[in-house]
Amino acid sequence: MARIQLLPDHLVSQIAAGEVVERPASVVKELVENSLDAGAREIAVELEVGGKRRIRISDDGSGMGKEDALLAFDQHATSKIRDFEDLQRVATLGFRGEALASIAAVARVELLTAEAPGEGWRVRIEGSRVRSVEPASRARGTTLEIASLFFNVPARRKFLKQPRTELRRCVEVVQGYCLACPDITFRLSHEGRSIIDATATSADGEGLRERIRQLFGDQLADALVELPAGGAAGESIRGFVGKRETAKGRRLFIFVNGRLIRDRQVLATYYRAVRDEWKHDEYPSLFLFLGVPPEDLDVNVHPQKSEVRFRDASFVHRVSRVLREGLVSARGEEAAPLREAWGAAERPLAWSGLGAVSEPSIHETAAAFDTRDAGADAQSGVWDWRRDGRQKIAEAAYDRASPSEVPLSRGSRDRAVRILGQYKGAILLLETPQGLLLMDQHAAHERVLYEKLARAMEAEEPKVQRLLVPQLLELSPSERLQLDSLVESLQPMGLQLERLSGGDLALVGVPAVLSDQQALSLVLELAASEEQSTDPAALKRQILESVAADRACKAAIKIHHALPMAQMEQLVASLFACDDPYSCPHGRPTLLEMSDAELERRFGRR
Amino acid sequence: MEIVVSREELVAELALLQGIVERRATIPVLSHLLFQAEGERLSLAATDLDVSLSTGCGAEVLRPGQLAVQAKKFTEIVRALGADEVRLTLAEGNNLAIESGRSRFRIRGLEAESFPTLPKVESSSELEFPLATLRQMIGKVLFAISSEESRFQLNGALFKATDSTLELVATDGYRLARVETDFSGAGAEGLAQGVLVPRKALQEILRFSGEEPVRFRRNEHHLSFRIGDRELISRILEGTFPDYERVIARDHEKKPVLSREALQLAVRRVSLLSGERARGVLLRFEADLLTISAANPDLGEAEEQVVCRYDGEPVQIGLNPDYIGHFLGAIESNEVRLELKDAESQCVGFPIEDPEGEAGDRYLCVIMPMHV
């Protein structure tokens, strides 16, 4: 018998379905897009068990006749593309023609649709097989009910997360369309509980601000500045950027032609604009809506259409200009910080001569003096500490002729390391039996301090400062769901949240190591981050680490800082005693190795 | 412009203006002072766009004129001069010549027109109160103003007046200080709801001295404090101040009374071991005895006992020692009373001005507890 067989049709469609339908949220996404394309003014989403058991989407769009209703479930059936020409200017949201067919391949689907009142059809499909088609009554529009998602694909079903997580993802999807289409009413409920209830506003800037208010609350809506109009003919660049106080949480939303995307290029442009205009790297909220002619956009990069490619490279420059202008006005009346005309780029390891070694502290000066020839100075009787001190520091740092040997060990990892010296006040050179090690002194010290701090903080019972007035948190529906599930786990860490009526949350106590604003940022970040663990131990570590990493970085020795030998030895020894000596808390490496083999190869000895 | 002024008088006004000039000004002209010579007077002004001060001193004006002058350099120069009189002459190209004794300086200035126009606060009604009273009140709440820039509505104090009282309240979310004093002046309607005065304006008022009263006016966006010839104008902080009356607990029944100085010193000593990252000390009250303790896994433990007057149930509470210190440092009474409920509820501190009277209730400081 032949080993290679053709896959049966239903298996092919199940596999294809996997590309489009990954989880309830992807079903919601496809169906909301279909509703929007059908011209709906009102879209209601009802979910059960996070959408795993049931997803019901009803709209008041154009609806379908009997033929269309059946054809809709065929592979690559779509009302939107007829030939290759059409593919070049896809203006509608759903286009791959696989959505409904793919969903029908992995769920029990019931479609109820009517082009006009009284002319409706009900179609039942289960795992791609049409079970029944019958006339039914309905007002104009379409209702799709997707039950038992992945009932016939156990492997997929196993990969679904807890209902809470799946629900949050669905809410995020609907939230995205809420923002993209403020002139359309959206409702989302879960097992009868209303989560999103956003009545239509208008499609202009103020309508959008109202929509943001409906979802995120007054605080955010009032702290947004409208971007100036921009873009060349046929393009549009609009939206809002937040003032300084919105730089908490991660509320960055980018839409291209009405589609919420996570485009790295646009995000990077935004980050750069903030760093340039505001001179810091806390990013304020962003609601950015880009419109380009469909033929200038390649959306077919990713099956979930979450990434796009702009054909006109200069478009991103225009986006950047608008963002910068917006950021300038969001910063307030204060004029732009004057940029130095020839702002020296920060080149951490650039050679700036021995003279540029940073001024030694008293402690180090003393240490450096210990290494010099005491007799010579005693004879001269005159002691010009400035001149003399600097020279000796330089000698201490660079001309040490007697490297010392530090045998180090930790657990089973025995290490013999000899310190050769310090390179340009920044990098320690270490000789090991295997080769040459370069150690970044700042990163290494950061790691050492960080582990010490994290251990100390973990051992300590957290002190909790109660707040005089509870701080009401303004959260979007998806953020509220996530944070609500974390309330109990955050308690032992000193982040005390109180549940108020109506599902609101308020911060009532904060860890005493943080200010209330830092704690607030942390809470908002936890609420908005995408993959949030609810395990108390993991959460605790996450919080401690974010606090400790920040403090360690500030306290660590900087580069261009000459170290006496005793300090180098101490640093090397403490680094190798760390749990993870190989990277600083931010993930940059502390050590680079050049093995003997590598050196020999480069010198042509091998 | 050509004038002759007394160096001493000029230095006194420059010291006041220094408090207004923005040190990290991003708009160059804001690091300047506006000079205007006219009649018998040299008028001086500084602003950071939120708070402005206009003042001046008598001068022999040989030629009127105006110029914006770099504040820091000018002040340094005038302070350093040796002679009693200073001659200031506007030279071409917006330069200012400073001559005194045998010293001659020439510094670059900016056109007076580039200096922002200061807001004018016109109002039909005016309040008047003693400067000393206002300064005393500010001193009692200044420490509680939040320095967290993002909580802009807490970056100032709430200033309220009725026909019979003046009130000043500040909070940073962890503690709250409130002071009230008798005041007899009609026309306080504009302040019945209270206005938020930025910290910088309050700090500037603390720099003023003298016997002259403060004449106060407001309009929709600005406040004006006139003291003699000087006028401090401040933008009103926008935002809603917390509903503090509701927050202050009035029904705590545990009320130990103790010596202010003894408590202050003991807390200061014990707090040496209260930890560097999160400072907290534990206060335990039993019959006539307070035990203050602190423990820190890295450092060790500390404990001190202080005698007090207390006959209630034992109670303990964790507090930030800095907050206790700020409260005790802001008052002068010999004794203080703390009102407590339990470890979860706020501690309200009062000075006891006079064991018989109720006067102490006019000042209070709420401190939120810390789980230690």
Task: Give A5-39 pLDDT, tens digit per residue.
Answer: 666 666 666 666 666 688 899 899 889 988 988 88
Are the beta carbons of B323 and B274 closer than 8 angstroms? no
**Distance between CA atoms of B310 and B315, rounded to whole angstroms?**
11
> What is the predicted pLDDT for the residue at A280?
67
> What is the predicted pLDDT for the residue at B322?
93
Alpha helices for A381-533 (secondary structure H): 385-398, 441-459, 477-484, 487-490, 516-528
> What is the predicted pLDDT for the residue at A16?
61
pLDDT per position as a tens digit, B58-103: 999 999 999 999 999 999 999 999 889 999 999 888 999 999 999 9
Top mean pLDDT of A216-225, A244-253, A334-343 is at A216-225
Strands A185-190, A42-48: pairing kind? parallel
Instruction: To the nearest 10°, report the CA torsion of A63, A67, A68, A74.
Output: 140
Fold of B127-245: DNA Polymerase III; Chain A, domain 2 (3.10.150)
> What is the predicted pLDDT for the residue at A363?
41
The alpha-carbon gap from B318 to the nearest alpha carbon of chain A, in Å, equals 9
Higher pLDDT, B137 or A281: B137
Across B230-241, average pLDDT: 91
Tell me whether domains B2-114 and B248-367 share a fold. yes
Whether residue B154 is predicted with pLDDT greater than 60 in this model: the reply is yes
> What is the predicted pLDDT for the residue at A435?
86
Check residue B108 and report its DSSP letter: E
pLDDT band for A263, please (50, 70, 90 cuts). Answer: confident
| Domain boundaries defined on chain B | 2-114, 127-245, 248-367
Architecture of domain B2-114: Roll (3.10)
| A471 vs B contacts (CB less than 8 Å) | 173
pLDDT band for A386, please (50, 70, 90 cuts). Answer: very low
Q: Which of A338, A456, A468 sits opposite B298 (nearest CB)?
A: A456
pLDDT per position as a tens digit, A587-606: 788 888 888 888 888 888 87
The alpha-carbon gap from B224 to the nearest alpha carbon of chain A, in Å, equals 22
> What is the predicted pLDDT for the residue at B346?
94
Q: Which of A337, A457, A512 sits opposite B370 (nearest CB)?
A: A512
pLDDT band for B321, please (50, 70, 90 cuts). Answer: very high
pLDDT band for B323, please (50, 70, 90 cuts). Answer: very high
Whether residue A372 is predicted with pLDDT greater than 70 in this model: the reply is no
Whether residue B261 is predicted with pLDDT greater than 90 in this model: the reply is yes
Instruction: With CB atoms and an 8 Å threshold, state whether A512 touches B175.
Output: no
**Distance between CA atoms of A88 and A35, rounded to whole angstroms?**
22
Q: Mean pLDDT lowest for which of A75-89, A443-457, B250-264? A: A75-89
Instruction: With CB atoms and an 8 Å threshold, state whether B148 touches A517.
Output: yes
> What is the predicted pLDDT for the residue at A317?
84
Alpha helices for B199-345 (secondary structure H): 199-207, 244-247, 260-270, 321-330
> What is the predicted pLDDT for the residue at B13?
94
Whether the model clears a pTM of 0.80, i.e. scores above it, the answer is no
Q: Does B151 touch chain A (CB under 8 A)?
A: yes
Name the one residue in this structure whose structure tokens are 């409702």.
A187
| B294 vs A contacts (CB less than 8 Å) | none
Whether residue A98 is predicted with pLDDT greater than 90 in this model: the reply is no
Average pLDDT, chain B: 90
pLDDT per position as a tens digit, A118-174: 788 898 988 778 888 888 888 899 999 999 888 888 888 888 888 888 898 899 899
pLDDT band for A264, please (50, 70, 90 cuts). Answer: confident
Q: Does A585 touch chain B (CB under 8 A)?
A: no
Alpha helices for A160-246 (secondary structure H): 163-180, 205-216, 218-222
Q: Which of B176, B298, B320 sits opposite A465 (nearest CB)?
A: B320
| A334 vs B contacts (CB less than 8 Å) | 26-27
**pLDDT above 70 as % of chain A:** 75
Instruction: With CB atoms and an 8 Å threshold, state whether B297 touches A460.
Output: yes
The alpha-carbon gap from B172 to the nearest alpha carbon of chain A, in Å, equals 9
- Collapsing DSSP states into helix, strand and coil, what is residue A170? helix
In this structure, chain A runs to a length of: 606
Q: Mean pLDDT lowest for which of A80-89, A337-346, A552-561, B206-215? A: A337-346
Nearest of A70, A41, A191, A47 to residue A134 by alpha carbon: A70
Are the beta carbons of B264 and B308 closer than 8 angstroms? no
Nearest CA in chain A to B297: A460
Residue A102: both structure tokens together: 């793919």
Whether residue A573 is predicted with pLDDT greater than 80 in this model: the reply is yes
Whether residue A347 is predicted with pLDDT greater than 60 in this model: the reply is no
> What is the predicted pLDDT for the residue at A458?
74
Q: Does A457 touch chain B (CB under 8 A)?
A: yes
Architecture of domain B248-367: Roll (3.10)
Higher pLDDT, B190 or B115: B115
Nearest of A30, A183, A218, A220 to residue A106 by alpha carbon: A30
pLDDT band for A354, please (50, 70, 90 cuts). Answer: very low
pLDDT per position as a tens digit, B92-136: 889 999 999 999 999 999 999 999 999 888 887 888 889 998 999
| B148 vs A contacts (CB less than 8 Å) | 515-517
Nearest CA in chain B to A453: B277
